[in-house]
Structure formats: C-alpha cells, structure tokens
Amino acid sequence: MNKIIALFVCLLATQLVYAEIINVQPQYEDRYQSLLEELRCLVCQNQTLADSSSELATDLRVQVKDMLEQGSSDQQILDFMSARYGDFVLYTPPVKSHTLFLWLGPFALLLIGVVTALWMIAQRAKQAPTISEADQQRLHNLLADQDTGEK
C-alpha cells in the first residue's frame, strides 16, 4: 500500500506532460537499460530509473545517456551518481564498514545454521540407543513371559 501511495506522489510530480522517452543509440541500449535498473528514482518510494516517469528520473536518464555517449564506463557513471546523490541512489549497496553485516550476514548465518544443524544431528546419532539397557532387560523379560504364556 505504501508503495502505491508513493507511486502517487511520483505521478503527481509528472502532472505536467514531460517527454519521458529518450531514444538511445542502439549500441548503448543494453548498457543503458541495465544501468537504469541499478539506479533509484530519488523522489519515488521504491522505483528504479527504468520504472519511474518522474521529472527527476527523466533528467537522470538523460544524464546516463549523455555519459554513455561520451564514452564513460558503467562504473564511472555509477560513481558519478553516488558522488552527486549519495549511496541512496545505488540499488546495490556499496561494501563499506556499515554495510559489512548486510553483505556478510547471510553467508555467516548460513554457515552457523548448517554447522549447528549438522553438529546436533551428529550428537544425536552418537547417543546411546533410545531403549536403555534396563528397558531392554524388561522387554526381554516381557517377551519371555509371553512365550511361556503361550505354551
């Protein structure tokens, strides 16, 4: 629902008809598209530049197109954007001290989870049989009783 509300804010910003379509030279099309998927529309709630039709997004798309045509590499374009608008504009958070847990956390958790699970299973498999010796003796006696009873 919040996504929808924010989308509306975005759409309101585009009330004045704006040329959202930018024709990119064919040789840059693939890189252009994938760069737009990596960059966030700053005034929308959670939309990539590719998905947004807000005025700011259109400006940024023109910027991406211009830089591509001037021969910038993908990394140079992303660096330019994050220098100008902060890391918020990047959908792939850069690895920094305060994002270490974000990047390493999942794999650390996986390691902890798998090791713990296997360790617990190994412990259980090593345990003595569920039937204790006293129980086994009793079972033995019971069976013996049954045998005599049948005779």
Partner 1 sequence: MIPELGQFALIIALCLAIAQSVLPMWGAQTNNLNLMSVGRTAASGQFLFLLIAFLCLAYSFVDNDFSVQYVANNSNTLLPIYYRISAVWGAHEGSLLLWVLALSGWGFAVAVKSRSLPDDVIARVLAVMGMISIGFILFTLLTSNPFDRMFPAAAEGRDLNPLLQDPGLVIHPPMLYMGYVGFSVAFAFAIAALISGKLDSAWVRWSRPWANIAWVFLTIGITLGSWWAYHELGWGGWWFWDPVENASFMPWLVATALIHSLAVTEKRATFKSWTVLLSILVFSLSLLGTFLVRSGVLVSVHSFASDPARGVYILAFLAVVVGGSLTLYAWRSVQFSTGGRFEVMSKETMLLLNNVLLVVAMLTILIGTLYPLFLDALGLPKLSVGPPYFSAVFVPLMLPLIFLMGLGPIAKWRRISISELFHKLKFLLAIAVILGVILPIAIYRDTTIMTSLGIAAGGWAFATAVYAVARLIMKRDKTTSVFKSLSKVPRALYGMSVAHIGMGIFIFGVVFTSAFSDQKEIAVKVGTSVDLAGYSFLLRGVGPNQGPNYQAMRAQVDVTQDNVPIVTLEPEKRVYTVQRNPMTEASIDEGLFRDLYVALGEPVSPGEWGLRIYYRPFVQWIWIGAMLMAIGGILGATDKRYRASANRAA
Query: Contact residues for partner 1 (CB under 8 A)?
Result: 1-8, 11-12, 14-15, 17-23, 29, 33, 37-38, 40, 45-46, 48, 50-51, 53, 86-93, 98-99, 101-103, 105-107, 109-110, 113-114, 117-118, 121-122, 124-125, 127, 129-130
Q: At its nearest, how many Å lie between partner 1 and the CB of residue 141?
A: 23
Q: At its nearest, how many Å lie between partner 1 and the CB of residue 93?
A: 5
Residue 95: left (phi > 0), alpha (psi -120 to 50), or beta?
Answer: beta
Q: At its nearest, how many Å lie between partner 1 and the CB of residue 98?
A: 6
Identify the residue whose tokens are 């569920």: 130
Name which of 95 and 144 has its Cβ closer to partner 1: 95
Name which of 4 and 148 has its Cβ closer to partner 1: 4
CB count, 10 Å around CB of 40? 22
Among candidate residues 21, 48, 54, 53, the one with its CA nearest the CA of residue 34:
48
Positions of E strands within 1-151: none
| Share in percent of the chain as helix, strand, coil (round to 5) | 70, 5, 30
Name which of 114 and 139 has its Cβ closer to partner 1: 114
Q: Are 92 and 52 in contact (CB under 8 A)?
A: no
Amino acid of residue 133: E
Name which of 75 and 146 has its Cβ closer to partner 1: 75
Q: At its nearest, how many Å lie between partner 1 and the CB of residue 127?
A: 8
Q: At its nearest, how many Å lie between partner 1 and the CB of residue 126?
A: 10
